[in-house]
Amino acid sequence: MTDLHDDEDDNRPRTLTNSQVIAFMAGHWMGEPRRFVLIAVLMLASTACDLSIPWATRGLIDAVATPTSPTDKAWIAWASLSALYLAFYSLRSGMFRLSNGYYSRIMARMVTGAFGRVQAFSADWHASNFAGATVRRVSRAMWGYDSASDALLWMLTPTLIVLSGLAISIGLKWPAAGVFVAVLVVAFAIFNIVVSTHYIRPANLASTALDSQIGANLADAIGGNPVVKGFGAEAREEQRFSRHVDTWRAAQHKTWNAFNTVSWGQNLFLVVLQAGLTGQLVYAWSHGQATPGDVAFGITSFIVMAGYMRNFSEITRMLQKGLDDMVDVATYMRTEPQLADKADAKPFRGELGEVIFDRVTFGYENAARPLYQDFTLVVAPGERVALVGPTGAGKSTFVKLLQRLYDVQSGRILIDGQDIAHVAQGSLRRAIAVVPQDPALFHRTIAENISYARPEATEEEVILAAKRARAHDFIAGLPKGYDTLVGERGVKLSGGERQRVAIARAFLADAPILVLDEATSSLDVETERQVQAAMEELMVGRTTVVIAHRLSTIRGADRILVFEGGQLVEEGRHADLVARGGAYARLHAVTEAGA
């Protein structure tokens, strides 16, 4: 199983290089090739105007510095210079206007694609990664793309074109000065590439990882706010969060200092360029080898070049930070889901609910031995089976394998004669309705939570499902009824109310297989009776798998399966197993003693 960024070790270096992240960006640029080409043409045209300004300035200075020059020549030179400035700003404005919609669509595709890929990752991956950190990474990548694209396409590319073009222009008139400028430009580019890769990037990645940790810890503490309040631990959590923020602050301070150091080096190149270029031009003028217009050309060339080079520190910062903000999402998109559908996967089609575990061997990663070894079991259509046994015996694993949240190492699992490893996962899971011990509800309306099983369900079908789940009465008593928002994970509802909403959702799903995972263990007696009655109706005509520690809730099961260490040690009906005096009888005795 591929391990992406386990949050327990999130400060380790990322594996993707800058060039790989840029390739990821380029793939998005090519999503609209015509728009990209048009924007690039506008960028190149505006850069050409900027590159021509020193030449126009030279013509104007020569025209006004020569007493015998006609006045019309000066006005023509003035008009040419003014037209270049007008064209430059107009083309740049048009380029950015076209870029706005282009960028927003790419950012939308990027975050949507990242969300889809993260959803496709296995349950084990999600269990190993903080949701808050994942959210931070995905949302940060959008703005990382915005910054990196601006820096790379509309800032860095024109900078390199202008610096190279003016070096050539100067070299055509004064070869020695041209060589000097060219060497300095090449050295400047090499300096920036080296320090960005080997000096700035490591510091920036560390602070970016810690930024993700801030999101992770913030979400963790806020999500656990009832526990925090229950123990009066607000001050303790604030101190804990403050320590994380202080760690990030130190790393971010180091990153900013790295940028500042690089900026100082870039400015040193600028000083050398100014002194060397203007010094050579003054020397040429003093020896009659340059006109005032030539000197103005050189000075204007330096001013244009300096404007671009002076911004190079900010460009470097934007580009490197943008690339580092995207590296997580780029990694996600290059990583195949751990449990991908097979190439020949077909939609699951079945209505009976027959389940067969055929010589299944399965063990968790890093476990000393397999939990299941050549495990075989047949559950008949419509049969009610209960899974009991101590913690770690393999009950929950049974359900996870049934849903194909993990792949078996050998053997196969069949549902209605179909090997679940060769059917589309989404269609398989829609055929299995699960009512867990602690149902997870979305911060949406009650109606939306119930209809999540079948979004196209009508209002009447939603209400009918709620009535069958014994949920309609409490929903109708709420101020907004079915339009009531339930809060994050359903915190505005009681445990019994959440349970009945989950049962209503299962009714609406109308799946052939039903899994009840400790669905009543945390309820009071009166609520348990209501939920149990709803579940009894829900089980009718469905293959049902019940996981239970309270053995009183499974007396009516067609078959009780007793697990120990992944092995099926006993099976039978309640009365028979009690009379047998084995493992189930011991569990029953403990339960009765604690009742």
Whether the pLDDT of residue 313 is over 80: the answer is no
Structure confidence at residue 415 (pLDDT)? 92
Average pLDDT of span 512-541:
77
Sequence length of the chain is 595
* Sign of the four-CA dihedral 95, 97, 100, 102: negative
Q: What is the pLDDT of residues 81-98, one digit of tens each?
A: 889 889 988 998 888 888
Sheet holding 384-388, edge to edge: 432-435, 513-517, 543-547, 384-388, 559-564, 567-572
Q: Reply yes or no on whether the pLDDT at 232 is more than 80.
A: no
pLDDT digits (tens, 9 = 90+) for 425-472: 888 888 888 888 888 888 889 999 999 888 898 999 999 989 888 889
Residue 1 confidence (pLDDT) above 50: no
pLDDT at 64 exceeding the cut of 60:
yes
Task: Give me the mean pLDDT over the 372-387 stretch.
Answer: 91
- Which residues are CB-contacts of 451 (< 8 A; sequence separation ≥ 6)? 457, 462, 505, 508
Look over the chain and give the mean of its residue pLDDT values, rounded to a whole number: 82
pLDDT tens for 389-416 read 888 888 888 989 998 988 899 999 999 9
- C-alpha 22/C-alpha 176 separation (Å) is 36
Min mean pLDDT across 8-12, 182-186, 320-324 is at 8-12
pLDDT for 503 beyond 80: yes
The tokens describing 176, both together, are: 């020695």
pLDDT band, residue 11 (cuts 50/70/90): very low
593 has a pLDDT exceeding 70: no
pLDDT classification of 226: cutoffs 50, 70, 90? low
Q: What is the pLDDT of residues 176-187, one digit of tens each?
A: 888 888 888 888
Task: Give the pLDDT confidence score for residue 70 in this predicted structure.
Answer: 67
Residue 135 binned pLDDT confidence (cut-offs 50, 70, 90): confident
Average pLDDT over residues 311-333: 81
Task: With a cut of 90, say whether residue 22 has pLDDT above it.
Answer: no
Instruction: Give the bridge partners for 418, in sequence order.
Output: 415
Q: What confidence tens digit (pLDDT) does each residue in 271-294 have? A: 887 788 778 777 777 777 777 777
CB 512 within 8 A of CB 552: no
The CA–CA distances, whole Å, from 479 to 106, 470, 485, 491 equal 42, 18, 11, 17
The dihedrals phi and psi of 346, each to the nearest 5 degrees, come to -115, 160
Predicted pLDDT of residue 86: 92
Q: Note whether 7 and 309 are within 8 A (CB).
A: no
Q: Which of 217-221, 423-427, 515-519 shows the highest mean pLDDT?
A: 423-427
For position 592, what pLDDT does the model report? 66
For residue 524, the number of C-alpha atoms closer than 13 Å in the C-beta half-sphere is 6
Name the residue with tokens 């209503």.
504
SS3 content of the chain, % helix, strand, coil (to 5): 65, 10, 25
User: pLDDT category, 8, cuts 50, 70, 90?
Assistant: very low
The full DSSP string for 538-594 is HHTTSEEEEE-S-GGGGTT-SEEEEEETTEEEEEE-HHHHHHHTSHHHHHHHHHHHH
Percentage of residues of the chain with pLDDT beyond 70: 92
Torsion of CA 157, 162, 164, 169, to 10 degrees: 160
For residue 13, what pLDDT band results from cuts at 50, 70 and 90?
A: very low
CB 269 within 8 A of CB 191: yes
Domains in the chain, please, with CATH?
Answer: 7-334 (1.20.1560.10), 341-431+545-595 (3.40.50.300)
Percent of the chain whose pLDDT exceeds 90: 11
